[in-house]
Amino acid sequence: MNFEITVLLLAAAVQSGTPILYATLGEILTEKSGVLNLGVEGVMILGALVGFLASKVTGSPLAGLLAAGAVGCVAAAVHGLVCLVFQGNQVVSGLALTILGTGVANYIGTGYVGQLAPGFAPYPMPVLSQLPVVGTIFFNHDPLVYLSYFIPVVLFLFFSRTHHGLNIRAVGENPAAASAAGLNVAVYRWFGIIGGGFFMGLGGAYLSLAYTHLWTTNLTAGRGWIAVALVIFAFWKPGRAVFGAYLFGGIMALQLRLQASGTQLPSSILLMLPYALTIVVLVLSSWKKGTSDEPAALGVNVEPAD
Amino acid sequence: MKVLKALVVMLVLGMAMAAYGADKPVKVGFVYVSPIGDAGWSYAHDLGRQAVAEMDGVTTSYVEAVAEGPDSERVILNMARKGYDLIFATSFGYMDPMLKVAKQFPKTSFMHCSGFKKADNMGNYFGRMYQARYLSGIVAGAMTKTNTLGYVAAFPIPEVIRGINAFTLGAQSVNPDVTVRVVWTKTWYDPATEKEAAKSLLDVGADVIAQHQDSPGPQEAAQEKGVYSIGYNSDMASFAPKAHLTAPVWNWAPYYAKVVDSVRKDNFKAESVWPGLADGIVDLAPFGPMVPEELQAKVNGVKADIAEGKKKVFAGPIKDQKGTLKLADNTAATDNELLGMTWFVEGVVGTTE
């Protein structure tokens, strides 16, 4: 692997990490409010399908993207309904959402498999893309990748510098205390769930509008689950999520490039890498729990205040 | 009374049909592994089904996206129970489930694509796709400027390895310096991964991307980079009109019509068949406008030679990647050698593991 191929590998890492990044940030927003949403995979695939269909019908990828975000909100709201209104088990509801989302998307999408829709094309950033190395890695992508650069920053500032961001964290850490302090716990949790669903929907749309311009069954191929694991890896910090998402994207891109450059390693071992890394990451993260920002009340339902 | 009337009418009709020698109505079922809208493997089979459905007295139906294993057994069993006369199962993993059902329904005819197990009422069939891949290799070998061809491949099984070897031999026949780089995706259908695999090949300098995958993902990658591509299964030109040179394609219609006809005439035989270019079951998609006419003529010439049996794709001397002579001068590979091929020819970069 020479220098030039390494740079291209890093560029590919950014691109294949982007859909996971959107989903991971969405899950962080949700979990910060104290709600565990294991339905990421289902929300993503619905976003991928609806984004694709909307772009196909309207001819505008931007409309597709917004539709994907909207359907992400709706799908996540189902989870909110179960957990916040009916006090259902968050783990079970999330798993059900994954199964439901995958099933519905594959059912509706069957007739559209293999068709093309207008999507986002690569748009090299003026000036920035001319920078050596950094230009190729970060500024030679489609607009959705550039958009994903801003979200972690916005989320970081939101959680650490704004009134409502701090309130969300309070609700996730200690809902009883937050409620006693006069915060409306349910409203903040709804915000976390629906806002998170929006980003998960965008992550799905990235797959059908930018990564490829196609729809197919199981397009997300388990990326939603990787996002769930990455939240733990990231210690619930948006900045670390960026690192984690690109690391996973990089491993996925690396195994293909190792093959392309003629390695003699069996491809089965190379294909195992992303999943082996997931396990290593989970083990390491649970070991170093001290520095984590895990919300203390994650997965705990709160009775609606009367 | 009504029942009696209906019976009489049916009897008369039946006698009339017998008198005219009309063929008996046939119900044909198809089982597909992926959705048919995929421009790929199942789509090609469904074109065959549509042709069969046009025949007189033939009704067809299909079930798509059937998982291999227990699900497929249930689907095939259901079709047999509903009185289908002939069932085509079009994925390797349907072999054992179909065999089980075939034993329970001796009067129904079963055909399995790409397998090797047979029963008295179950045959198998496949096509010599490697012949068409050899032709597509000639096109790729002539069009490359970097002498590096990329090949996005699904699983390291003999069918795929044979195709890669045939493609490489075809390319080498017009361009001895050419190398073929192989990336395994371990999936038949995942557009995102397949596209990424194609990009990884583009990154190492490949300027023609071929594929043994069912999605057009690799075609997109080639078009975005402004290089060429070779499709697979069916004409994929619509996905990448500027890149698509040609594609080795399946054409099941004539074969399916033949089998349906044999069932209709009550002389179905449970055979193993492996037809090729000569029977039209495999072919090349129309050439893209960037393929020069001399090259098109040359490829068509080789195609005629293969169809007439004058040329064998796997004819010695052929060496493997390590340079060991696998096929001596003036010998052609036997069908068994082809069906069990697990080694790459010289000029392929990659591993079969």
Distance CA B351, CA B353 (A): 5
How buried is residue B82: exposed, middle or buried, by Cβ count under 10 Å (0-12/13-18/19+)?
exposed
Residue contact B196–A8, C-beta within 8 A: no
**pLDDT tens-digit profile of A30-82?**
999 999 999 999 999 999 999 999 999 999 999 999 999 999 999 999 999 99
d(CA A86, nearest CA chain B) in Å = 36
- Concatenating the DSSP letter of every residue in B121-187 gives TEEEE---HHHHHHHHHHHHHHH-SSSEEEEEES--SHHHHHHHHHHHHHHHHH-TT-EEEEEE-S-
**pLDDT tens-digit profile of B132-166?**
999 999 999 999 999 999 999 999 988 999 999 99
What percent of chain A shows pLDDT beyond 90? 65
Quick check: A219 contacting B, CB < 8 Å?
yes
ipTM attached to this prediction: 0.81
**The model scores a pTM over 0.90:** no
List chain B residues with CB under 8 Å of A121: 224
How buried is residue B256: exposed, middle or buried, by Cβ count under 10 Å (0-12/13-18/19+)?
buried
Distance CA A275, CA A259 (A): 18
Residues 6+ apart with CB under 8 A from B190: A216, A218, A221, B215, B217
Distance CA A156, CA A29 (A): 10
Residue contact B183–A112, C-beta within 8 A: no
Q: What is the CATH number of domain B24-125+252-277?
A: 3.40.50.2300
Structural domains of chain A sorted by starting position, each given as residue range(s) with its CATH number in brackets: 3-291 (1.10.3470)
In the predicted model, is pLDDT for residue A286 greater than 90?
A: no
Distance CA A288, CA A280 (A): 12
* The pLDDT of residue B18: 46
**Nearest C-alpha neighbor of A41 from the set A117, A114, A103, A107:** A103
In the predicted model, is pLDDT for residue A204 greater than 60?
A: yes
List chain B residues with CB under 8 Å of A219: 191-192
The three-state secondary structure class of B271 is coil
Every domain of chain B and the residues it spans = 24-125+252-277, 129-247+285-349
Quick check: A1 contacting B, CB < 8 Å?
no
Quick check: A256 contacting B, CB < 8 Å?
yes
* The pLDDT of residue A306: 44
- Concatenating the DSSP letter of every residue in A113-141 gives TT-B---PPP-PPTTGGGSTTHHHHHSSS
d(CA B152, nearest CA chain A) in Å = 9
Question: Six-digit token pair at B95?
Answer: 């072999």
**CATH superfamily, with its number, for domain B129-247+285-349:** Response regulator (3.40.50.2300)
Low-confidence stretches of chain B (pLDDT < 70) are 1-23, 38
Topology alike, domains B24-125+252-277 and B129-247+285-349: yes
* The pLDDT of residue B9: 56
**pLDDT tens-digit profile of B164-208?**
999 999 999 999 999 999 999 988 878 888 999 999 999 999 999
